[in-house]
Amino acid sequence: MTDDLRAAIVQDDATGRVLMMGWMDDEALALTRSSGLATFYSRSRQKLWVKGETSGNSLHVSEIILDCDEDAVLVKVHPDGPVCHDGSTSCFTPWLWRRILQREEASTHDSYVARSLREGTPFIARKVGEEAVELAVASLSETDERVVSEAADLWFHVLLLLRSRGLDPAAVEDELRRRDK
């Protein structure tokens, strides 16, 4: 490992969302500047790599900002697709979404997520409706603990519905951010 590695925080220039953290040495930084594609130093492979060279999900650099000590760098980008190796928009994905992605590949005998996704969007949409009604009823006449429990069920099933449609929850955040302007 080289001694001149600096943390490189990658941020979506359009949304402000932090997408990933990688490492850059001077050569990676220079290649990033000259090519316009985010290039990092892999500590495990001990070599440079261009984000997207295998996945096709490149990071087109719009701005590079070094911190005051020049030992960290903020790289603002326009991504071509998901940044995380698991298919998420960001490597800083909320726990529940990451868990849904992990459980999707499990056996339908072992995983409610896998079974529900194989049943399809109509099945999950009905569950969202059921959970929404249960939350509404609980909020009018039950304890706070019950409201939290029903809200968790609804939240989970809404995320499952997004996954069944091939949508990332980041799209919902983007829509809400758009409406706020």
Closest CA to 10 of 73, 93, 104, 101: 73
Query: Which pTM value belongs to this model?
Result: 0.77
Closest CA to 35 of 59, 1, 18: 59
72 strand-pairing partners: 7
pLDDT in single tens digits along all 181 residues of the chain = 446 899 999 999 999 999 999 999 999 999 999 999 999 999 999 999 999 999 999 999 999 999 999 999 999 999 999 999 888 889 998 899 999 999 998 888 889 999 999 999 999 999 999 999 999 999 999 999 999 999 999 999 999 999 999 999 999 988 998 999 8
Domain extent at residue 53: 6-79
For residue range 120-138, list pLDDT tens digits in order.
999 999 999 999 999 999 9
Same domain assignment for residues 148 and 120: yes
Same domain assignment for residues 174 and 107: yes
19 by DSSP, 3-state: which?
Answer: strand
Q: Which of 50, 79, 108 is the last residue of a domain?
A: 79
8 strand-pairing partners: 22, 73
pLDDT at res. 3: 64
**Sequence-ordered alpha helix ranges (H) in the chain:** 26-35, 95-104, 112-119, 121-141, 144-164, 169-179
Greatest alpha-carbon pair distance for the chain in Å reads 63
Closest CA to 22 of 10, 34, 13: 10
Round to whole Å and give the CA distance between 27 and 153: 48
pLDDT at res. 93: 87
143: CATH: 1.10.287.1080
